[in-house]
Amino acid sequence: MLRFANPTWFMNFSARLLPWLVGLTALLFAIGLYMSFFTAPPDYQQGETVRIMFIHVPSAWLAMMCYGLIAVSSIGLLVWRHPLADVSAKAAAPIGAVFTFTALVTGSLWGKPMWGTYWVWDARLTSVLILFFLYLGLIALRNAIDDEVQAGKLSAILALVGTVILPIIKFSVNWWNTLHQPASVMRMGGSTLHSSILYPLLVMAVAFTVLFFALHMKAMRNEILRRRVAALRITQVDEAMTPQAAE
């Protein structure tokens, strides 16, 4: 565990792993996209629009997984003071926001032909929208605080508060929706998935997940470099000040 705590070790490790991750991502996407466009048949209910599901479902899944990763990183920072945990949480937030955004947009584009409207205040859509706002809040809070260490810790608190309250939001939105418009909302994935649809979906889900880890690793590397630059700037200022102080 201690080994992982060392940024230098992480830089060496990720430098070797990242090209493989990128290659694997490309390979998986090639297979996944081929399957979703050429081998998957049109769904008997959704028609060709089922192909949107192949990118929508993995986006939504990663949007949630990314928040889980931020929560775990936040615990790592607050409880174990893991030096890489804050880097991980900071790197993950914009990536999670992008996946949440694509999940929302693709869902909306799927909804127009299927439900006849771009947006339904369906329980699931609403809770993903709130998740998107939580991501924006996390990013905005971190940007607003100048001190890097404090920004990390305060964002971690917000992320954990969000973790506690997300299930409550999800539950309340479900409850709210069933209260106001029962039965009118079609459930996505209502039909049991046939293997010809399921396999492309699984391959795409794995492809998105590997892509996420590649992006996250790259973002963490950038963040570590940024902190090195910041540390060097301070030493540089120190050195520049020393001769003046000696005069």
Partner 1 sequence: MSGFKSLVARDIRLALREGGAIGTALGFYLIVIAILPLGLGPDLNLLARIAPGVLWVALLLSALLSLDRIFLNDFEDGSLEVMIIGPLPLELIVAAKSIAHWITTGVPLALIAPVLGLLLNLDINAFGVLVLTMLVGTLGVSFIGAIGAALTLGLGRGGLLLSLIILPLYVPILIFGVGSVMAVIVGPSSFTASFMILCAISLAAIVLAPWAAGAALRMKFQ
Partner 2 sequence: MMDLGPHAAFIWMSYGVVIGGLAALVLWLIHDGRKQQAVLDDFEARGITRRSAQSGGTE
One symbol per residue from 160 to 199: x for binding partner 1 (CB under 8 A), - otherwise; what is it? xxx-xx--xx-xxx-xx--x--------------------
* Measured CA distances, 137 to 17, 143, 173 (Å): 32, 10, 20
């993995």: which residue's tokens?
58
Decide: is 11 part of the binding site for partner 1 (CB under 8 A). no
How far apart CA 62 and CA 75 sit, in angstroms, is 20
Which of 11, 31, 75, 141 is the binder for partner 1 (CB under 8 A)? 141
Interacting partner of 221 out of partner 2, partner 1, none (Cβ under 5 to 8 A depending on kind):
partner 2
Decide: is 118 part of the binding site for partner 1 (CB under 8 A). no
Interacting partner of 32 out of partner 1, partner 2, none (Cβ under 5 to 8 A depending on kind):
none
Interacting partner of 179 out of partner 2, partner 1, none (Cβ under 5 to 8 A depending on kind):
partner 1
152 vs 177, beta carbon nearer partner 2: 152
CB 112 within 8 A of CB 52: no
Decide: is 14 part of the binding site for partner 1 (CB under 8 A). no
Decide: is 224 part of the binding site for partner 2 (CB under 8 A). yes
Binding site for partner 2 (CB under 8 A): 6-8, 37-38, 42, 47-49, 51-52, 55-56, 59, 83-84, 86-87, 94-95, 98, 101-102, 105-106, 109-110, 112-113, 148-149, 152, 211, 215, 218-219, 221-222, 224-229, 231-232, 235-236, 239
Binding site for partner 1 (CB under 8 A): 78, 130, 133-134, 136-137, 140-141, 144-145, 150, 153-154, 157-158, 160-162, 164-165, 168-169, 171-173, 175-176, 179
